[in-house]
Chains A and B, each alone.
Chain A
Amino acid sequence: MGARDNFDANYDQFFSDLTALCRALGAGASAEDIAQDAILHAREHHDQLRDESKLQPWLRRIAARRTFDHLRRQKRHEPPDATVAFLPTDPSLAIDVSVAITRLPERERVAVVLVYALGYEQEEAAAVMNVTRGTVATLLHRARRHLAERLVGYANGGNGR
């Protein structure tokens, strides 16, 4: 099976995986477009991939990079749409508690999203972020500590409910 055939045969799987990634990274309604663009780009530049077994991490990295580019452009030109968010539907946790995730440093937040929201293995997250697995582990550790520090008041004051 040729490389392009491989893309075409697995298009649905790739598209679903990348759309979920882009959404989780914040692409919102643009997630499907970005995912599709990433696949098309990868399909056209498949000769750049040396190891066929790394196809999925490569695709994810492309999609992630395009998502970040999209977000940077959006931030420059459009007001943020703050009415759509990943939120706890469990009312026992205040929205403020969950919003603490968004206030993490970006790299920590991305690591948290990849591992905790999407269920990536740390190695998979590292491949997307183009860092080592150890770096991902460190980012996750820091993210947890930062979250804990920011949630102190909620835990103590009952807002954690």
Chain B
Amino acid sequence: MSPMAGHVASDRLGEASLHGGLETLREEERHHVQGCDSCRRLYGGYRLADRLLAAPWREVKVPVGAATRPSRFAFVGDFVRGLDARSVAPVAAAIGLVVLIGAAVALPQLIPVTPVSSHSPIASRPTATASPSPSAPAHLSPVPSSSAQAGRTPGAQASGNGSSNGGPGATTPAGPTSAPSAEASAQLAVSKISGSPIAWSPDGAHLLLWAAGFAHEIQICDAAGHVTGTAAADAATWVSSTTVAVATRAPIGPSGRSGGSRGGSGGSGEMVVLVNVHGQVTRTLPGRYTLFGGVANGMLLGSGSGELTIEGAGGGTSSGSGFVLWNGSLSGVQDGLPIAFSADGRKLAVLDLSGVSGGSVTGTLEILSIPSLSTSASFDHLNLRVGSGSLGSAFGFDAAFSPNGASLLASGTLVDLSSDTSTQVGKGGWLPDGTLVTASSGGVLRWQGTHATVDPRLPGAGTVETSRHGELIYFYPDSRPPLLLDTDGTVSSLSLSGVRSIGNLLISPTGRSIVLAGRTANGSSITGLATLP
């Protein structure tokens, strides 16, 4: 192999990002990238750009500083310094950037909502992803061997927001681009829908979405994609299979639609109403609430069985403002930020916040009993970082109790609530029998305690999505077809009509339907519904 004279062309890195990773490069190119910080970083930029471009979009509030802040000249400068052959283009880009900033801040801000590992705020079911993180593409990081993993201290691995993670005790996974191995294949018709999916209802009969192109409005549609109702909303969550809690600052009429102009930036805060699947207001809850950190993420958390927590009841501070529980009546204000209900609605995981970064939060974990809100367990030594998990905007965090409530999976960290220990396992979900499944760069991992084995039927780096009923879908960031592991153990390769790649996917709790956001063959974005075989 002859060494390369210069850097790998930008377009080649872009193609690699789009078409399956660095494995698709020629050997000498791949070798160069592995040893070249500039190329590796540019490849990371492409990965991040593709994440952005694959995302559903919506209009939300943004802190003024973020919208008007000049671009990060530092990173442009780093990029320039790190490149030789590309010196002209980045300098021009940097100069152009300076010119554009003035225009950019004056232009309307149109930014995609990034789909990441999805979980329903109601189902509290995070997904796993082994997609390379922007900061450390998996293709550039050797997959740890089983012996290396066995020697790793639980909890020592940095949480990577979806980066590949074999975790301690995991057996050696296959390569990141392993071909799916399915016993059967199924052709699924995809019905195109508009909007950005948020979450299935607990019974799987309805889907909550952001209305396409509209700010501050949600839609509810049935499993066939027919819109049954709409409502003005800054945040929304399923409280039960027939009730959605909606936070809005807009005056809201009986139909759920905004009754006039929005309330402006006054201090009145958000009101919370309950609407049925037709978008009709069935109840207005007392009080006004402050958006946590100025964004709706984490404001509402529903159990799916009738309970609802509302953050922002205590006036709103950067460290969390306190929450109230509604289960027919409102509780007093409690400290902390609720992140997950147990499946039976009897436990509530709450973070006592120590830090907020972007929308992810860090804090110590407490488990409260419902409805008394008394503390049943406290984990003062465990500083847990939890990001969001959602397709469009679930307004929820990436945390889920195991079916029996004995463990909590939070953004890749498994907390054993009985033994007071934590293990880095990667992102994943729970099966009804209590098996934890997570994604790794080598395929789906099945966990028994702190030991994991790779499921050879579900290979490669992908994203895990599980249903409450027990189905598992493993889908890939490229054009490989998703795999369905049915409850009878059958693995089927799913061919989705008109869909080239899947950015994200939510399986209904019953395992009968999926909603996906992805790309068509010509690169256009598509949101669609499909019925599983």
Contact = CB atoms under 8 A, between A and B. Distances in A.
Most chain A CB within 10 A, of B47, B48, B96, B393, is at B48
Nearest to B86: A149
Contacts of A106: 103, 107
A85 B72 contact: no
A89 B113 contact: yes
B230 to A, nearest CB: 11
B113 A87 contact: yes
Given A145-B10, A145-B14, A161-B387, A92 B67 contact: no
A88 B388 CA distance: 11
Contact of B59 (A23, A93, A99, A119): A23
Interface string A62-85: 000000000100010000101111
Interface in B55-111: 55, 57-64, 66-69, 71-72, 74-76, 78-79, 89-90, 93, 96-97, 100-101, 103-111
B52 interface: yes
Contacts of B392: 89
Contact of A148 (B48, B116, B215, B525): B48
Nearest to A119: B525
- Decide if the interface of chain A is mainly helix, strand, loop or mixed: helix
Interface in B1-51: 10-11, 13-14, 17, 40-42, 44-51
What interface size band does chain B fall in?
35 or more
A74 to B, nearest CB: 8
Interface string B209-228: 00011110000000000000
Contacts of A90: 55, 113-116, 359, 387-388, 390, 393
- Decide if the interface of chain B is mainly helix, strand, loop or mixed: mixed
A84 B215 contact: yes
Interface residues of A, number: 67
Contacts of B393: 89-90
A75 B105 CA distance: 10
Interface of A: 19-21, 23-29, 71, 75, 80, 82-106, 109, 112-113, 115-122, 140, 144-158, 160-161
20 contacts: A23-B59, A26-B107, A28-B59, A85-B111, A87-B60, A89-B58, A89-B392, A95-B63, A97-B48, A100-B71, A102-B108, A103-B101, A145-B14, A149-B90, A150-B71, A150-B76, A151-B45, A152-B44, A152-B45, A152-B76
